Amino acid sequence: MSLDNLRDLYQQVILERYKKPRHRGKADPVDRYQRGHNPSCGDTIELTLHLSSPEGDATDPLLQQIEEVKFDGEGCAISMASADLMAEALRGKTVAEALDMVQRFQSMMRGEAEFPKDLRKLNVMQGVAQFPVRIKCANLSWHTLKAALESAQTAEPVGW
Ligand code: ZN
């Protein structure tokens, strides 16, 4: 496949995710809630996570497993597609694995890394690295996820 065709394919995936997101909504129950905003583009995201503790080890927060991630918000195609792809990729991962993925995604946006085969869907965002002004759009959901995972367990925010 030529580079141009590959780029078209990536754009198609991003637009399709933007138009028909698969993970919009609110996790049930909500174990983590985090809001993120990217002022340079006006993207806003509200992320909700449902976590579970492994049998017999409820004490190590890094071993908690992500059961469900949902997002809501308004923004450009890149920010919303990135959130949808992220929500999908996180299902079943531990908090420790998810934090590694945040780092890898941010490296990918600097053109320094990509995801291995089992997470290769996330590599469609790679093309964004060529457009510095859009990198914050792609990073928003991951940045928000990191904050959500590093925050203490939160009660549901007022108004939800
Ligand atoms: Zn944006």
Q: What is the pLDDT of residue 98?
A: 97
Question: Ligand 1 centre and the CA of 68: distance in Å?
Answer: 24
**Could you give the percent of the chain with pLDDT greater than 70?**
88
User: 29 pLDDT exceeds 50?
Assistant: yes
CA of 140 relative to ligand 1 center, distance in Å: 8
- Residue environment code for 58-96, b if the CB has 16+ CB neighbours within 10 A, otherwise e: eeeeeebbbbbbbbbbebbbbbbbbbbbbbbbbeebbbe
8-state DSSP, 128: G
Residue 132 has pLDDT above 50, yes or no: yes
Query: How many angstroms does the Cα of residue 48 sit away from the middle of ligand 1?
Result: 20
The CATH architecture annotation of domain 3-150 reads Alpha-Beta Complex (3.90)
CA 37 – ligand 1 centroid, Å? 10
41 CA to centre of ligand 1 in angstroms: 5
Compute, in angstroms, the gap from residue 124 CA to the centroid of ligand 1: 16
Residue 85, H or E segment: helix 77-90
The structural domains of the chain, with segments of one domain joined by +, span 3-150
Q: Could you tell me the pTM of the whole model?
A: 0.89
- Res 145: pLDDT: 97
Residues, beta carbon < 5 Å, ion ligand 1: 41, 43, 76, 79, 137
